[in-house]
Amino acid sequence: MTIDYDYQQLEVPQDILRYCDSFVLDAQRNNLRYIDCVLMNMGEYGNDPQQLKEMRERIIPVFE
C-alpha cells in the first residue's frame, strides 16, 4: 500500500498494515482513522520508530 504524504508517495511496511488492520477493526483502509494509525506507526508525527515497532510487537493480554 502506498499513501500520499506531503506530496510524496510513501510505501507502507506490511507489519504496520497488519497492526492497523487489527487495531482499527471497523475502518476501511481509506478511512481517516486507519490512515492516522499508519502515519503514526511510520513515525511521521515525530514518534520514535523503534519504540513504535516495540509497541506493535508487544502482546497485550485481554484478561490478566
> What's the pTM value of the predicted model, to 2 decimals?
0.76
Tell me which residue of 56, 60, 63 sits closest to 38, measured CA to CA. Answer: 56
Q: pLDDT tens, 9-50?
A: 878 999 999 999 988 988 898 999 999 999 999 888 898 989
With contact defined as beta carbons under 8 Å apart, do 24 and 37 qualify? yes
With contact defined as beta carbons under 8 Å apart, do 34 and 24 qualify? yes
The domain segmentation of the chain, as residue ranges, is: 2-57
